[in-house]
Amino acid sequence: MSVSWLGRWLAMLCVVLGVLQGCESVAPSPGGLTPERFFLEARMALKSEAGAGRGQLSWRQEGEAFRVTAFGPFGAGLVVLEGDAQGATLLREGTVQSASPDELLATWLQAPPPFAALPHWLLGRPAPALGPAGRRGADGFEQGGWRIGVRRGDDGLPTLLTLERGVTSLRLAIFTWEAPTP
């Protein structure tokens, strides 16, 4: 696997996780976390029609502002995505791209997940803007054509999250949850 290929996949993952358009306020999750305020660190694995890759990421969400940092094994392919509902800036392999997060994601995935749903899904719950979830159970739910698998820790927060649709799957093994300080 080449470093540039891995960097491309990590950049796509950052876009998937970083775009937060139209999030609604909801009751906090355990630890006082909400879709508008959280910090996480996770190991990740991504598979799609174009290939597969592994890495690590951190994501800080404060209101509409986000910062996602992702990298592959031994720090290869560092990617930083920052932005808000207005747009995003992507730093990858020494280049900076500014575009809407929708445009960035569409260049890498044929069937991207609904952006407004991601903060809710990361916290292991359906996104209100997408309507009722189907096939809901203790281990996850279906929404927007995606299967969201959730395994929770003793504190009630997700420790393993899987997003699947067709040949695309993203698996996050979350090892840190924190509430950002104001």
Per-residue pLDDT of the chain (182 residues; tens, 9 = 90+): 444 444 454 445 444 444 333 333 445 677 789 999 999 999 999 888 878 889 999 999 999 888 888 888 877 888 888 888 788 888 877 777 777 666 676 665 666 777 678 889 999 999 998 888 988 888 999 999 999 999 999 999 999 999 999 999 999 999 999 987 76
What are the C-alpha distances in Å from 129 to residues 67, 115, 117?
Answer: 23, 11, 7
CB atoms within 10 A of CB 125: 21
Which domains, from first to last, does the chain contain?
A: 3-178 (2.50.20.10)
Structure-block tokens of residue 19? 């775009």
AA identity, residue 33: L
* Letter string b/e over residues 89-111, b meaning 16 or more CB atoms within 10 A of that residue's CB: ebbbeeeeeebbbeebbeebbee
